[in-house]
Amino acid sequence: MSGAGPEIERLMALLSKLPGLGPRSARRAALALLKRRDQLLIPLTHAMQDAADKIESCRICGRLSTQNPCTTCVDPMRDETMICVVEEDSALWAMERVGAFTGKYHVLGGLLSALDGIRPEDLRLDSLISRVRSGRVREIIMALPATVEGQTTAHYIADRLKGFDNQVDITFLARGVPVGGDLDWLDDNTIAHAFKSRR
Amino acid sequence: MSGAGPEIERLMALLSKLPGLGPRSARRAALALLKRRDQLLIPLTHAMQDAADKIESCRICGRLSTQNPCTTCVDPMRDETMICVVEEDSALWAMERVGAFTGKYHVLGGLLSALDGIRPEDLRLDSLISRVRSGRVREIIMALPATVEGQTTAHYIADRLKGFDNQVDITFLARGVPVGGDLDWLDDNTIAHAFKSRR
Ligand SMILES: [Zn+2]
Ligand SMILES: [Zn+2]
């Protein structure tokens, strides 16, 4: 109960579910939206409605996009022999900001985790294996966090790809990614460097 | 440029205008919305559309409400001899959470500030004076921040009310409100105490 009336309280309750917003910052956000109706509330509502209507996960790589397959998947200028595997779109966005990678992507949608009960079938792992098996992929770059879950997931993928006829190199982002670090929180130079010195 | 495509970037740009969200947290918020389409994106979009359609400022007190005049203004159980003057709705919400005040409110919509160029005509000051002049108001409680702007605004109101026929007491929240403190950030006990010991 915030004393603001049911409609505003519902708005606050939903805003507080956004990462980084607690009850107090959700109240401030709700007030900012209501005070700036034409400059913020209505444009943001439209942008969200637009996103809900148009954005879906690419059926090839899993990327969030208004096109399906996404622009990266259909872009003939991008090297289809390389796939960069990321946990979430945020890591892909970070890569694209840097602009150091010109291959294709695969968004897993999470990481394997015994603790959280996330199994292979909960992630886009079968579709990754299919892409590698059917395509001209020569290198898979594991741009996954340097956490237990990130390493477990990378090893699971490597295991699944053993014994294929086509030779696929599996590389990892090297220097610069701190242990437990989320790609989205790194500066662009660090990402570019880690890319160049992948092993 | 975040590498996410124009629709998602527009969403991020608007989210980053919310108080407390910078570019990085706006990216995380956008990803959370897009990943939780049915549980978060669509319900929040509807709540915001609902707010944009229904919520306006009460023509008497300025409070954000789906009713006009708002429920507080028309509630016969609330003491119309007392008006609690607040800067923004967030302070009113804090008061209502505490439940210590049973009078009416007046939301100024800001504070006088020479620095920010906020003049009396930019705030709901004339309507406050009219309410006091025409009504049965006996006490105005200044629930304003203990800042230069808060004090300037309180003194301006006191000056405007001098020389009226009806005697109106002007009181201030007393102990517990820290200098520069925003009411919304105080614990409820502090607010209740400050109310009781208003001077
Ligand atoms: Zn794609
Ligand atoms: Zn009202």
CB contact under 8 A, B10 and A47: yes
- My answer on whether A139 and A84 are in the same domain is yes
CB contact under 8 A, B8 and A37: no
Put simply, whether B48 touches A (Cβ < 8 Å) is: yes
- pLDDT, one tens digit per residue, over B8-41 is 999 999 999 999 898 989 999 999 999 999 999 9
Q: Say if CB B104 and CB B61 are below 8 A apart.
A: yes
Largest CA distance in chain A: 66
Q: Which of A3, A7, A93 sits opposite B4 (nearest CB)?
A: A93
Decide if pLDDT at B84 tops 60: yes
Host H or E run for residue B81 = strand B79-86
Hey, what are A175's tokens? Answer: 């220097």
- pLDDT, one tens digit per residue, over A7-41 is 999 999 999 999 989 898 999 999 999 999 999 99
- My answer on whether B68 and B45 are in the same domain is no
Put simply, whether A102 touches B (Cβ < 8 Å) is: no
CATH number at residue B31: 1.10.8.420
Put simply, whether A25 touches B (Cβ < 8 Å) is: yes
* CA separation for the pair B162, B146 (Å, rounded): 22
In a domain, B187, yes or no: no
Cα(A57) to ligand 1 centroid in Å equals 8
Question: How many of the other CB atoms lie within 10 Å of CB of B99?
Answer: 11
- My answer on whether B162 and B94 are in the same domain is yes
Residue with tokens 């946990």: A87
- My answer on whether B146 and B89 are in the same domain is yes
Ligand nearest to the CA of A107: 1
Domain containing residue B74: 64-172
Question: How many of the other CB atoms lie within 10 Å of CB of B173?
Answer: 25
Bridge partners for A56 per DSSP: A65
In a domain, B87, yes or no: yes
Q: Say if CB A12 and CB B94 are below 8 A apart.
A: no
Ligand nearest to the CA of A92: 1
Instruction: Work out the average pLDDT over B93-104.
Output: 88
* Confidence grade of residue B176 (pLDDT, cut at 50, 70, 90): low
**DSSP for residue A146:** B
Put simply, whether B53 touches A (Cβ < 8 Å) is: no
- pLDDT, one tens digit per residue, over A137-196 is 999 999 998 788 999 999 999 999 887 766 889 988 765 555 555 666 666 666 676 666
* CA separation for the pair B17, B24 (Å, rounded): 12
Host H or E run for residue B64 = strand B64-65
- My answer on whether A25 and A79 are in the same domain is no
Cα(B57) to ligand 2 centroid in Å equals 8
Residue B165 distance to chain A (closest CA, Å) = 35
CATH number at residue B143: 3.40.1360.10
Residue B163 distance to chain A (closest CA, Å) = 34
Host H or E run for residue B104 = strand B103-107
pTM value surpassing 0.90:
no
Domain count, chain A: 2
- My answer on whether B164 and B82 are in the same domain is yes
* CA separation for the pair A162, B188 (Å, rounded): 61
- My answer on whether B12 and B88 are in the same domain is no
- My answer on whether A88 and A163 are in the same domain is yes
pLDDT of residue A179: 53
3-class state of residue B67 by DSSP: coil
ipTM, two decimals, is 0.86
CB contact under 8 A, A33 and B51: yes
Alpha-carbon Rg for chain B in angstroms: 20
Ligand nearest to the CA of B78: 2
